[in-house]
A and B are shown apart, each in its own frame.
Chain A
Amino acid sequence: MTAPAAFRTCPTTGLKVHRQADALIKANAVAATVSLLVGGVAAVLVLLTRWQAVHLLPADWFYRILTVHGMSMLIFFIIFFEMAVLYFASAVVLNSRVAAPRLAWVAFVLMVAGAILVEWMMWTGKADVLFTSYVPLKAHPLYYLGIILFAVGALVVTSLFFATLVVARRERTYQGSVPLVTFGGATAAIIAVITLLHGAAVYIPTFLWSLGLVPMDAEVYRLIWWGLGHSSQQINVAAMVSIWYLLGGLTIGAVVLNEKISRSAFVLYVLFISMASAHHLLVDPGFSPAWKVWNTSYAMYLAVLASMVHGFTVPAGMEAGMRLRGFTHGLFEWLRKAPWGDPGFSALVFSVIIFGFLGGITGVTFGTEQINIIAHNTFRIPGHFHATVVGGTALAFMGVTYYVIPLIFRKQIAFWPLVKIQPYLFAIGMTLFSMAMTFAGTFGVPRRHYDISFAAAPFAVEFNPAVDLILGVMALGGLLASLGGAIYILSTVWSVFFGKPLAEDATFGAVPAAILKPPPAPPAGDADHKGLTRGTLVLVGVFLLAFIAYYFVNWKLLSAVWRVG
């Protein structure tokens, strides 16, 4: 049994927090923020190069920095942050100790070592292969080895998450079932295991191939790599949705309308996503139409259904929570009177909207077998995933950070007035950026391309003249979002390292209001649902109409191109 001194009690939530969990969350959060800074600087450099009017970098550095951007953001930032989320969702939420903390630190060191190795290879020009490193493009063997080390570390942390759940249950640190947030975290962890096994299945042979020991097939690589590449995005989705529920509860006391529905939706993510790699291979020569159609959808699109369900239950839980506390007037009083000045709340709302309306609708549409013909490898693809993973996941992560700093780091948040507008800047920026990028892709503008003026090409390529203007809007949105990202990094780093410790009598204006005045507990028992979610029904109706319109407009666009079959 652990000594009592190993725990502290959180004065806000009353949770018993293991000091090892505190320290592990801090270390992983700091590593995530450093990765975000590296990836963010790379983002600005890439943006200023693709903005044809500036065209900043030379070609070799453009592709190099684009590789850095992808790895630092999608792998290092996101996964370090998710490791912190896993420690939070297990040890902190369940009042438990962390299982095997020494092993947890070994895992952290492995991950940092792997990340440093990969960054070193990329910055020295030994891995100009972009994020996907499609063979037979070849990087230095240490690049693949670094990724393997990082993945092994992440796999250990994931195992410790499950071990901590077992410890918590055995030591009876909580009553009843695990909370929904932990349940969602568990699905993220299960998907992480699937993802990391795919990672091992692709990077270990590729490492051997880079040493000249085994052959690699270009199409088989793509198939297995996307088992890693796409599933890792599904970890993000499960973690992000868990944070939606978490932020809803923390900021306005959102309730869980029905545990069965929300938990079943999480389970659908686990069951129906493993072959989601298929929708990256829809216009590939290696697979039959039947294979593509089946593995994209399993006939029912149940992972899409899961997201649509959460897209209802998250706002509906927020609406019901507010209505139960007296904001019952009309359809939208609950939204109007919500704490829009709380950056945790505004980040939550924008994350849900951008993920659903921009990321979700475009993703499902482009992931349709035939529509992919007019989307594959164009700007439409990064337009889509910047909406899901940046406007959705990263923004939710930013929002929850404003609660983690006072709750875990016990610090007031620095530059509070800037932090209050940070989610707005970031959300508006990412919205403009993603929409412009997607729109440019509709005209065929390629992704991962240094120069769409084609100055060095033998033949002149003409895009629609509107493209220049659209890329200008993209640049404006990207710069706004970068400003938002910079405020986030500045504030979090300053708060953690130089910030004022959070006193018991902390005042408003340095931490989110809900920390000092948590929302009152919702009425006990099963409330009568009648009319509790009216506003949300209207909102999801608007969403569905937008979805249907965008989807069929794309079939219309497809029907206008050359016959091909």
Chain B
Amino acid sequence: MNTGLQSPTGVWWKPAHKAERLWVQIAFAWCLVLFAMMPLWHMKGAQNPSGIRAKVNPNDFARRTYEFINTYKVGEDHGVPVVAPPPGADVYLLGRMWAWEPVLQLERGAQYTLHLSSLDVNHGFSLAPVNLNFQVVPGYDYGLRITPSEAGEFTIVCNEFCGINHHAMVGRVVVLDRAAAPVYGGGE
């Protein structure tokens, strides 16, 4: 036998010994499990990063966002418009240096299609403290069907570096129980 520093001579393509062969087989089986879990979760699991994906001109996305805001606006928070879309609505969230617009008031258990995009550079959508993370890329619309499963107040941290004030880029989501009084506006 030789060390890894020495040249093997003659034919070294020999059958592996039992322990080695056993480990390769176990490791390979595990690798197949690692693969199988992904398609399986698409069929059985409730959390997949699939979404509706399309290219979009950043200005068009901004226009859609402001139309959305004008339709469902119920107030303002720290100068950011607050919207309360009905269950099932298409919801637009625009990332730009260095803010998320608008603030969202959603209903627990209802499904929304959350469209994410950016007006300028890459941003990171990170919902705290739930820990849901998606990349927000300028020129691309990421439409995720999302169902808030708990009521409460949540924040959207930007977790992709986007310039000098990156750390100040925080948005807000409020999730209400169906019967609860709204936090913003009268729910009109």
On A, residues with C-beta under 8 Å from B are 13, 59-60, 63, 93, 128, 130, 134, 136-137, 174-181, 184, 217-219, 222, 242, 245-246, 248-250, 253-262, 281-289, 292-293, 296-297, 299-302, 304-305, 308-309, 312-313, 316-317, 320-321, 324, 364, 368-370, 372-378, 442-444, 446-452, 454, 456-464, 522-527, 529, 532-534, 536-537, 540, 544, 547-548, 551, 555, 558-559, 561-565
List B contacts of A253 (CB < 8 A): 3
- Does A563 contact B46, Cβ atoms closer than 8 Å? yes
- Does B17 contact A285, Cβ atoms closer than 8 Å? no
> Taking the nearest CB of chain B, how far is it from the CB of A8, in angstroms?
18
List B contacts of A457 (CB < 8 A): 167-170
- Does A544 contact B4, Cβ atoms closer than 8 Å? no
- Does A378 contact B14, Cβ atoms closer than 8 Å? no
Give the distance in Å from the alpha carbon of A178 to the alpha carbon of B34 in the complex: 34
- Does A289 contact B34, Cβ atoms closer than 8 Å? no
Give the distance in Å from the alpha carbon of A187 to the alpha carbon of B83 in the complex: 55
Residues A540 and B49 in contact in the complex (CB < 8 Å), given A245-B4, A376-B135? no
- Does A443 contact B20, Cβ atoms closer than 8 Å? no
- Does B51 contact A456, Cβ atoms closer than 8 Å? no
Give the distance in Å from the alpha carbon of A516 to the alpha carbon of B78 in the complex: 71
Which residue of chain A has its CB nearest to the CB of B3? Answer: A249
List A contacts of B169 (CB < 8 A): 457
B91 beta carbon closer than 8 Å to chain A: no
List B contacts of A93 (CB < 8 A): 5
- Does B49 contact A369, Cβ atoms closer than 8 Å? yes
- Does A258 contact B167, Cβ atoms closer than 8 Å? no
> Taking the nearest CB of chain A, how far is it from the CB of B126, in angstroms?
6
Which single member of B1, B13, B47 contacts A564 (CB below 8 Å)? B47
Residues A373 and B133 in contact in the complex (CB < 8 Å), given A260-B16, A448-B159? yes
Which residue of chain A has its CB nearest to the CB of B54? Answer: A285
Name 18 A/B residue pairs within 8 A (Cβ), A-sorted.
A59-B165, A63-B164, A137-B121, A175-B9, A249-B4, A285-B137, A286-B137, A301-B31, A308-B30, A373-B133, A378-B131, A458-B79, A458-B80, A526-B1, A529-B18, A532-B19, A544-B30, A562-B132
List A contacts of B79 (CB < 8 A): 458
Give the distance in Å from the alpha carbon of A452 to the alpha carbon of B79 in the complex: 22
Residues A309 and B23 in contact in the complex (CB < 8 Å), given A181-B5, A443-B131? yes
List B contacts of A289 (CB < 8 A): 42, 48-50
- Does A285 contact B142, Cβ atoms closer than 8 Å? yes
Which single member of B14, B51, B140, B146 contacts A258 (CB below 8 Å)? B14
Residues A462 and B135 in contact in the complex (CB < 8 Å), given A316-B20, A370-B38? no
- Does A378 contact B167, Cβ atoms closer than 8 Å? no
- Does B3 contact A255, Cβ atoms closer than 8 Å? yes
Task: With A537-B23, A565-B47 given, name 9 new contacts (CB 8 A).
Answer: A179-B5, A179-B7, A184-B4, A257-B16, A285-B51, A293-B42, A304-B31, A369-B41, A376-B159
B89 beta carbon closer than 8 Å to chain A: no
> Taking the nearest CB of chain A, how far is it from the CB of B171, in angstroms?
7
Which single member of B1, B3, B116 contacts A285 (CB below 8 Å)? B116
Give the distance in Å from the alpha carbon of A394 to the alpha carbon of B162 in the complex: 29
Which single member of A286, A293, A450 contacts B140 (CB below 8 Å)? A286
List B contacts of A305 (CB < 8 A): 24, 27-28, 31
> Taking the nearest CB of chain B, how far is it from the CB of A271, in angstroms?
14
Q: Mark B68-93, 1 if CB is under 8 A from A, else 0.
A: 00000000011110000000000000
- Does B30 contact A324, Cβ atoms closer than 8 Å? no
Which single member of B16, B133, B138 contacts A374 (CB below 8 Å)? B133
On B, residues with C-beta under 8 Å from A are 1-10, 12-14, 16-20, 22-24, 26-28, 30-32, 34-35, 37-39, 41-42, 45-51, 53, 77-80, 99, 111, 116-117, 120-122, 124, 126-142, 144-150, 155, 157-172
List B contacts of A257 (CB < 8 A): 1, 16-17, 20
Which single member of A217, A526, A548, A563 contacts B147 (CB below 8 Å)? A563
- Does A260 contact B12, Cβ atoms closer than 8 Å? yes
- Does A555 contact B37, Cβ atoms closer than 8 Å? yes
> Taking the nearest CB of chain A, how far is it from the CB of B183, in angstroms?
13
Which single member of B24, B48, B129 contacts A309 (CB below 8 Å)? B24
- Does A136 contact B1, Cβ atoms closer than 8 Å? no
- Does B51 contact A370, Cβ atoms closer than 8 Å? no
List A contacts of B162 (CB < 8 A): 137
- Does B131 contact A297, Cβ atoms closer than 8 Å? no
Which single member of A378, A450, A527 contacts B1 (CB below 8 Å)? A527
- Does B135 contact A284, Cβ atoms closer than 8 Å? yes
List B contacts of A128 (CB < 8 A): 164
- Does B146 contact A562, Cβ atoms closer than 8 Å? yes
- Does A459 contact B132, Cβ atoms closer than 8 Å? no
Give the distance in Å from the alpha carbon of A426 to the alpha carbon of B128 in the complex: 33
List B contacts of A296 (CB < 8 A): 38
List B contacts of A529 (CB < 8 A): 17-19
> Taking the nearest CB of chain B, how far is it from the CB of A7, in angstroms?
18
List A contacts of B142 (CB < 8 A): 284-285
List A contacts of B9 (CB < 8 A): 175-177
- Does A561 contact B18, Cβ atoms closer than 8 Å? no
Residues A308 and B32 in contact in the complex (CB < 8 Å), given A443-B129, A454-B167, A565-B144? no
Which residue of chain B has its CB nearest to the CB of A565? Answer: B48
List B contacts of A293 (CB < 8 A): 35, 38-39, 42
Which residue of chain B has its CB nearest to the CB of A558? Answer: B47
Which residue of chain B has its CB nearest to the CB of A528? Answer: B17
- Does A177 contact B167, Cβ atoms closer than 8 Å? no
List B contacts of A180 (CB < 8 A): 4, 8
Give the distance in Å from the alpha carbon of A287 to the alpha carbon of B55 in the complex: 11
Give the distance in Å from the alpha carbon of A460 to the alpha carbon of B39 in the complex: 38
- Does A561 contact B131, Cβ atoms closer than 8 Å? yes
Give the distance in Å from the alpha carbon of A432 to the alpha carbon of B120 in the complex: 37
Give the distance in Å from the alpha carbon of A442 to the alpha carbon of B141 in the complex: 27
List B contacts of A174 (CB < 8 A): 7
> Taking the nearest CB of chain A, how far is it from the CB of B89, in angstroms?
16
Residues A564 and B147 in contact in the complex (CB < 8 Å), given A293-B39, A368-B37, A458-B78? yes
Give the distance in Å from the alpha carbon of A246 to the alpha carbon of B165 in the complex: 47
- Does A464 contact B129, Cβ atoms closer than 8 Å? yes
Which single member of B6, B23, B37, B159 contacts A449 (CB below 8 Å)? B159
- Does B137 contact A219, Cβ atoms closer than 8 Å? yes
- Does A246 contact B141, Cβ atoms closer than 8 Å? no
List B contacts of A245 (CB < 8 A): 3-4
- Does A544 contact B5, Cβ atoms closer than 8 Å? no
